[in-house]
Amino acid sequence: MTTLYSDGGAGPRIHALVIGVGHYPHCVAYPPGTPESRLAADITPLTTAPSSALAVNRWLLDNLRDDPYVPLGSVETLISGPAPIVVPTPSGGTTVDPATFGNAREAVHRWRGRCDTDEDNVALFFFCGHGWERGDQTLLLEDLGRHPGDFFAGAVNFRRTYLGMRDCRARTQLYFIDACRELPLELLEIAADESRPLLTVRNPLEPPGRPLDAPVFHATTPGLRAYGPPGEPTPFTEAVLDVLGGRGAHQPRWGSWEIHTDRIAPSVRRMMQWNGVADQRPTAEGVTISSRFRTLPGPPAVPFRLSCAPAEALYSARLSLTALDDPANGRVREPRGEPWQNEVPAGNYQVRAEFPPAAYQDVCLYPAFLPPVVDEVIPVEPA
């Protein structure tokens, strides 16, 4: 049992289950000569998965414990690495259990039980590790291939696990799947999908009450890989945390910056593009309404990039930003050849491009700087 955090408070809470699988010891020397052995040969260690899970745990504990809308209620974590993983917590370091099928099933039942205590709870599920997709998404745990006669004992059927949560009382559920969705040819040589769910699908599928809002956010599209730099969180994980941290926020009512479920997917896609990840396109599926996930304490920071057209005008452009609601709050960048990149609190700004005499005409714009990012090209005319 690895419960990193539990506040025991009354009222709605966010309950998280975080799984990172970077260690697959039973696939290293799987008996040869079968489709399963060829599948095992493709299952390599993933240093990105423990790093991603650790980043998610750290973000949850640092940002959601005092959330004014729905605070963090619990964090359940399983992480598999070549050595035991120690996770910092408010009460000190905790060595977490590995992500085996048995541990995952026990963790899911504890997580579901907490989520089931209140209709206004939020269930958050995060997985990072190897995956396949043959009709249903398969998530691969540490004990994949542990028994030569039961290679798929460590393979989780995600769709059926997802359906097993539909009768949970928590009506807002978020699922983040940071795994490949390729279909290996060897899977087609096996008669049927032998992965198993972590929960039983019961009828009726949904309890009475408000509609279920349960989007699933995938790191990539069906048939393609997900990836990340060795030893670091994946680009998908970093984009998700940026979006939940504020770059997926909007103002549905005056003065309140909120993260809603229907804005997460497009914001994650935009953040990955902004960060230069062009060959991996995250997707979303499942049931999405527009539930509030969290309320921010103030305006979020918005990354921006300001350039000129033509681009060579930047060499003589003095660029400035001034917040319309606080004229004393301004920033200036002196002429330079590359675009101006920085970040400012979300809001309305005056943007000026000023030039020496006989170069270009000065320009003044009034754009809104809103999440997730702003990429503004200032058109200028010769003087």
Residue 144 DSSP label = T
265 and 306 in a common domain: no
341 and 192 in a common domain: no
Name the phi and psi angles at 60, rounded to 5. -60, -50
184 and 43 in a common domain: yes
Domain boundary among 233, 261, 295: 295
332 and 195 in a common domain: no
Domain boundary among 250, 267, 295: 295
Task: Decide if 18 contacts 56 (C-beta within 8 A).
Answer: yes
358 phi-psi bin (left φ>0, alpha ψ -120 to 50, beta other): left
| CATH number of the CATH domain containing 56 | 3.40.50.1460
Residue owning tokens 């979300």: 346
Q: Indicate the number of domains in the chain.
A: 2
312 and 284 in a common domain: no
308: helix, coil or strand? strand
286 and 170 in a common domain: yes
Type of residue numbered 282: P
pLDDT 10s per residue in the chain (383 long)?
A: 589 999 877 889 999 999 999 999 999 888 888 888 989 989 999 999 999 999 999 999 999 998 888 999 999 999 999 999 998 887 788 899 999 999 999 999 999 999 999 999 999 999 999 999 998 999 999 999 888 778 898 999 999 999 999 999 999 999 999 999 999 988 888 867 789 999 998 876 677 777 899 999 999 999 999 999 999 999 999 999 999 999 999 998 777 899 999 999 999 999 999 999 988 999 999 988 999 999 998 999 999 999 999 999 999 999 999 999 888 888 999 999 999 999 999 999 999 999 998 889 999 999 999 999 999 999 999 98
Domain boundary among 241, 276, 295: 295
Other Cβ atoms within 10 Å of 310 Cβ, number = 11
220 and 123 in a common domain: yes
Distance separating alpha carbons of residues 56 and 240, to the nearest angstrom: 9
| CATH number of the CATH domain containing 324 | 2.60.40.1120
344 and 247 in a common domain: no
191 and 153 in a common domain: yes
Query: Which H or E run includes 307?
Result: strand 301-309
157 and 187 in a common domain: yes
The structure's pTM equals 0.95
Host domain of residue 159: 3-295
179 and 323 in a common domain: no
230 and 143 in a common domain: yes
